[in-house]
Amino acid sequence: MGAPLLALVNGRVLGDHGPRDGLAVLVQGERIVAITAADDARVTSAQQHDLHGRLLLPGFIDVQVNGGGGLLFNASPTVETLRGIAAAHRKFGTTGFLPTLITDTAEVMYAALAAVNAAIAEGVPGVLGIHVEGPFLAAARKGIHDAHLFRQPTADDLAALSVGNRGVVMLTLAPERVPLDAIRQLNDAGVIVVAGHTAADYATTRAALDAGVRGFTHLYNAMTPLGSREPGVVGAALDDPHSWCGLIVDGHHVDPVALRIAIAAKARGKSVLVTDAMPPVGADRPDYVLNGHTIVARNGICQSDDGVLAGSALDMASAVRNTVNLLGLPLAEASRMASSYPAAWIGLERRQGQLVAGQRADFAVLDDALVVTQTWVGGVAHEVA
């Protein structure tokens, strides 16, 4: 006997042009069956869940999550760490994410890959794969990464990233630090190669795009800027119509004007919200240890003692609110930047990221202030305490 039919009713379902009343969402098991009129006969005969007039959005997908709930993936690359990080971000509407490992030793990188594979095998809710950010980066644009651990990829690295992984694999690299043949090999193996922490010029970045680079990690931050005669990495990112750009919309990493310019320059669907979240998200403590240094989140900013940004204290619901309030974008577009656009970036657009029949029943339920009150993952509701 199949799962019972469930109807989510009395909500404002976010459509292409904004919230809509008078609709119900039918769910069976892990999937959306239909978006239909509230008086549909299937709705009246189904088990009903009252949304109490709140907004129903597709669940958020975050491709850059270093930590949360007081946990840092680098510090303990295990299934239990991933379970805790997922739970912390679920409170803020994130139903799918790429746990992100910043620059570390080869042993830690391989352990992180194994942990993600195990988490997916065990069905840890929300884990979609892994984002490996480094160690193939440029010291000149290291940010908070430990440049002593930077290196070029070995044959073992390429094999570990390319073979036998259960979920999505995203890799941030500096194009000038990795041979084009290696980028082609990774791309051909299904790895989503993105550029970041790079001092490359425009020509080098353009060549990397042609070789298979498909996006840019936290646009503007830790990369060569756009200049009048030297377009740099930012110029290559904005000039290329096919690549995606991750944007940290926290009011600290990038000025809102620069963000609006980037969104206007990119083709629709190519600007993606990311958090670059660290352990303070969803935790009582504002501090954490990274590379042997204590980082403290103050006024929403994670910085080292010498003023270097160290990830963020941003959650995805706040990123959506900021996109509406700081950037002036409609809620429907902000929502797509947090759901369907990242799903497309990582190749999961047929499975999740939209409120359409056949997709996973991953939802974020928000009040009028765009604060998450409930999150659904695969048809299962998770209350926000």
Give the residue numbers marked as catalytic.
276
Residue in 305, 185, 311 with CA at minimum distance from that of residue 248: 311
Q: Would you say 253 is a known binding-site residue?
A: yes
How many other C-beta atoms lie within 10 A of the C-beta of residue 369?
Answer: 6
* Sheet strand arrangement including 293-298: 287-290, 293-298, 301-303
Q: Would you say 222 is a known binding-site residue?
A: yes
Q: Would you say 264 is a known binding-site residue?
A: no
Q: Would you say 311 is a known binding-site residue?
A: yes
Q: Show the CA angle centred on residue 221, arms to residues 288 and 244, nearest 5°.
A: 110
Q: Would you say 148 is a known binding-site residue?
A: no
Q: Would you say 15 is a known binding-site residue?
A: no
Q: Would you say 229 is a known binding-site residue?
A: yes
Q: Would you say 197 is a known binding-site residue?
A: yes
Between CA 251 and CA 301 the distance in angstroms is 9
Which parts are annotated binding residues?
133, 144, 197, 218, 221-222, 229, 253, 309-311
Q: Which residues are annotated as a binding site for Zn(2+)?
A: 133, 197, 218
Binding-site residue set for substrate: 144, 221-222, 229, 253, 309-311
